[in-house]
Amino acid sequence: MAQIALTLPDGNSRHYDAGITAGEVAADISKSLGKKAISATVNGAHFDLAWPIEADADIAIHTMADEEQANELVRHDLAHIMARAVQEIWPDTKVTIGPVIKDGWYYDFDRKESFTPEDLGAIEKKMKEIINKRDPVRTEVWDRARAIKHYEDLGEGYKVELIEAIPGDEPLRMYWHGDWQDLCRGPHLQHTGQVPSDAFKLMSIAGAYWRGDSDRAMLQRIYGVAFTGKEKLRAHLNMLEEAAKRDHRKLGREMDLFHMQEEAPGQVFWHPNGWYIYTELQDYMRRQQRKGGYVEVNTPQVVDRKLWEASGHWEKYQENMFIVEVDEEHAREKAVNALKPMNCPCHVQIFNQGMKSYRDLPLRMAEFGSCNRYEPSGALHGIMRVRGFTQDDGHIFCREDQIEEETAIYIEFLRGIYKDLGFENFKVKFSDRPETRSGSDEVWDKAEEALLSATRKAGIEPEMNPGEGAFYGPKLEFVLTDAIGRDWQCGTHQVDFVLPERLDATYVGSDGGKHRPVMLHRATLGSFERFIGILIEEHAGKLPFWLAPRQVVVASITSEADDYVMEVVETLKAAGVRAEADMRNEKINYKVREHSVGKVPVILAVGAREVEEKTVSVRRLGQKQTSVQPLSDVARDLAVEATPPDLRN
């Protein structure tokens, strides 16, 4: 029999017969490792202890102490155990797929009756029974025909379809958890008892389309979370509870920032406090854009469908547009308009006025553009995904050879702004051509290459998002996450060769001939609505002082201090600080609590002593200790903090 050399992480090599399993290697190294081993990494691949190793390789044996591998195995085995539990309780249920995801797993089932939240308890109980049985996990390799026949006989049509969709001709791995069998690429643990029975929890039931296709069957998905130990599960559940407190919908109410109501789904009623944030941000962005060489414009809300037909949006997005029909009495035909769902076609109209020369390029055009989109009801989410919103939109008209430079300039522009707003780290995703698109493949080749190369030159290696581009061009997405870790695209930068063509934008080149400009679509915050939502969750409501809607409350301790309270408020206002007085007949404890809950960053308490000394007692949000300082010093310091970062020296 052939001999193979396996190299351990410490550099030592051991020699074995080919076909030895990682489990046997572990046992050979030491008896205790043989017992504790759960899996192995063989040449970078995660191996089941039962799989044969056929050639020389680097090998590392894993135990439960290896968090990454242990979590994967525990979660993956739990997916199987849950599917088994469900089929034991409801044998008419069809199984489909059940992958490991962040913090846990899910499994999709097809069953006539719906699972109820109460069922989760029953499933959990059954799962614990299976774990306690310590059933062996067994693996066999079958050829495809046999596997297909097997599933056809069982009536598991989804499994048959899965096998048929797996490319190539390789044999398939079949797993058994006790008597229960599933098609699976593995790896797995050796018996169900290795899964901690107290470190998982079934979280929720939701619908999910088979193969992610909304034209196909709606399955029932059960989500679970799992860890290697009880403490880690508890910590995770605790984290979720904390994250729920940062939810912008909750804080929006508590801080009196905005509300939404049935009559205007997906649209925001901004209250005075929220509008402070909004306008502060807008003022900031306007300054940044002026500094960045943009000209600001403004375009109509209601625009004839002809323009949307010309741009291609009518064809692709008609069902997501608010249609405004005007039936003018003497008009020959009814005018059909749409509320502007985006600004690009309007910006091209401005570009098209008059004759542009290559000397005008790059032309950076910006608009705080209010848009309305009829988003599907299920997509709405607080102020993060809405039907009425305002983008900090901009379009850069430039020559092809300016794409890279403009992209590089833009990435730096965005970076500086995100940094000012407290986002040092953000994801960058690159989305290339989607299936349905405008423009020739040559044009797409050019656009994708230019965008990607500029991004890489900016020192960013984006995450690839194949097929997710806009219909007119590839895009870069700048992604921020909410309190519970969901991704939200905020900034974007897109190359577009198509729209200038469709809307016939031209400029006169140095050769005197007409040329087609390239259009770069870009938004930094994305929309004020979404960005403010993210901002609230990121800071848990404790916004940077300059963005805080209520910056200072001056609270009297006794009514003797009322006159002085007003003096302090006036002094602060004169210094450019948003200050308000609280002279209610309440105890200082009460006032401190109320304004702390309201996330006011600074509370200044004044009583007899402060009146006497012309001082204030300063209390910062989240801090317990206070300090007594001269009013003039405090006014000076807060004036600096109240200044937006781009205006400070």
Q: Catalytic residue positions?
A: 344, 373, 391, 393, 395, 475, 521
- Taking the complex as a whole, the smallest distance from the CB of residue 489 to RNA amounts, in Å, to 7
SS3 state at 150: helix
Nearer to RNA, 253 or 636 (CB): 253
Contact segment (CB under 7 A) with RNA among 68-76, 81-89, 210-218, 394-402 equals 210-218
Alpha-carbon distance of 570 to 572, in angstroms, equals 5
Alpha-carbon distance of 607 to 440, in angstroms, equals 74
Residues 515-534 that bind RNA (CB under 7 A): 521
Residue 221 interacts with RNA (CB under 7 A): yes or no = yes
- Taking the complex as a whole, the smallest distance from the CB of residue 246 to RNA amounts, in Å, to 12
Residue 462 interacts with RNA (CB under 7 A): yes or no = no
* Total residues binding RNA (CB under 7 A): 74
Alpha-carbon distance of 647 to 633, in angstroms, equals 20
Contact between 260 and 269 under an 8 Å Cβ cutoff? The reply is yes
Output the CA torsion sign for 216, 218, 219, 223: positive
SS3 state at 629: strand
Measured CA angle at 449 (ends 447, 450), to 5 deg: 65
Which of residues 11, 168, 354, 378 is near RNA by CB under 7 A? Answer: 378
Residue 607 interacts with RNA (CB under 7 A): yes or no = yes
Going through 212-256 in order, the beta strands assigned E by DSSP cover 218-226
Residues 533-592 that bind RNA (CB under 7 A): 557-560, 585-590, 592
Residues 469-488 that bind RNA (CB under 7 A): 470-471, 484, 486
Which of residues 291, 622, 633, 646 is near RNA by CB under 7 A? Answer: 622
| Helix (H) or strand (E) segment spanning residue 529 | helix 528-538
Nearer to RNA, 72 or 393 (CB): 393
Measured CA angle at 380 (ends 378, 385), to 5 deg: 140
| Helix (H) or strand (E) segment spanning residue 106 | strand 104-110
- Taking the complex as a whole, the smallest distance from the CB of residue 349 to RNA amounts, in Å, to 15
Q: What secondary structure does DSSP assign to 299-313, as a single string?
A: --SEEEHHHHHHHTH
Contact segment (CB under 7 A) with RNA among 128-136, 173-181, 214-222, 233-241 equals 214-222
Q: Is 510 exposed, middle or buried (0-12, 13-18, 19+ CB in 10 A)?
A: exposed
| Helix (H) or strand (E) segment spanning residue 130 | helix 117-133
Nearer to RNA, 39 or 615 (CB): 615
Site string for RNA, 379-408 (x = CB under 7 A): xxxx--x-----------------------
Which of residues 146, 185, 609, 614 is near RNA by CB under 7 A? Answer: 609
- Taking the complex as a whole, the smallest distance from the CB of residue 329 to RNA amounts, in Å, to 30
- Taking the complex as a whole, the smallest distance from the CB of residue 433 to RNA amounts, in Å, to 12
Which of residues 154, 218, 302, 326 is near RNA by CB under 7 A? Answer: 218
Contact segment (CB under 7 A) with RNA among 114-122, 183-191, 286-294, 569-577 equals 114-122
Residue 574 has φ and ψ, to the nearest 5°, of -60, -25
Nearer to RNA, 220 or 370 (CB): 220
- Taking the complex as a whole, the smallest distance from the CB of residue 368 to RNA amounts, in Å, to 16
Token pair for residue 591?
């006032």
Q: What secondary structure does DSSP assign to 193-215, as a single string?
A: GGS-TTSEEEEEEEEEEGGG-TT
Residue 373 interacts with RNA (CB under 7 A): yes or no = yes
Alpha-carbon distance of 639 to 647, in angstroms, equals 12
Residue 593 interacts with RNA (CB under 7 A): yes or no = yes
Contact between 527 and 393 under an 8 Å Cβ cutoff? The reply is no
Residue 626 interacts with RNA (CB under 7 A): yes or no = yes
- Taking the complex as a whole, the smallest distance from the CB of residue 562 to RNA amounts, in Å, to 9
Nearer to RNA, 55 or 608 (CB): 608
Residue 168 CB neighbours (<10 A)? 5
Site string for RNA, 70-109 (x = CB under 7 A): ----------------------------------------
Residue 307 CB neighbours (<10 A)? 19
Alpha-carbon distance of 402 to 459, in angstroms, equals 18
Contact segment (CB under 7 A) with RNA among 83-91, 111-119, 126-134, 351-359 equals 111-119
Nearer to RNA, 231 or 563 (CB): 563
Which of residues 621, 629, 639, 641 is near RNA by CB under 7 A? Answer: 621
Residues 132-151 that bind RNA (CB under 7 A): none
Residue 252 interacts with RNA (CB under 7 A): yes or no = no
Residues 305-324 that bind RNA (CB under 7 A): 313, 317, 320-321
Alpha-carbon distance of 97 to 109, in angstroms, equals 8
- Taking the complex as a whole, the smallest distance from the CB of residue 85 to RNA amounts, in Å, to 19
Nearer to RNA, 213 or 511 (CB): 213
Output the CA torsion sign for 611, 616, 617, 619: positive
- Taking the complex as a whole, the smallest distance from the CB of residue 254 to RNA amounts, in Å, to 8
- Taking the complex as a whole, the smallest distance from the CB of residue 461 to RNA amounts, in Å, to 22
Residue 377 interacts with RNA (CB under 7 A): yes or no = yes
Which of residues 375, 449, 501, 580 is near RNA by CB under 7 A? Answer: 375
Q: 157-165 vs 144-154: helix axis angle to the nearest 10?
A: 160
Measured CA angle at 160 (ends 156, 163), to 5 deg: 140
Q: What secondary structure does DSSP assign to 437-498, as a single string?
A: -SS-HHHHHHHHHHHHHHHHHTT--PEEETT-SBTTB-EEEEEEE-TT--EEEEEEEEEESS
Q: 528-538 vs 272-291: helix axis angle to the nearest 10?
A: 110
Residues 153-192 that bind RNA (CB under 7 A): none
Nearer to RNA, 262 or 424 (CB): 262
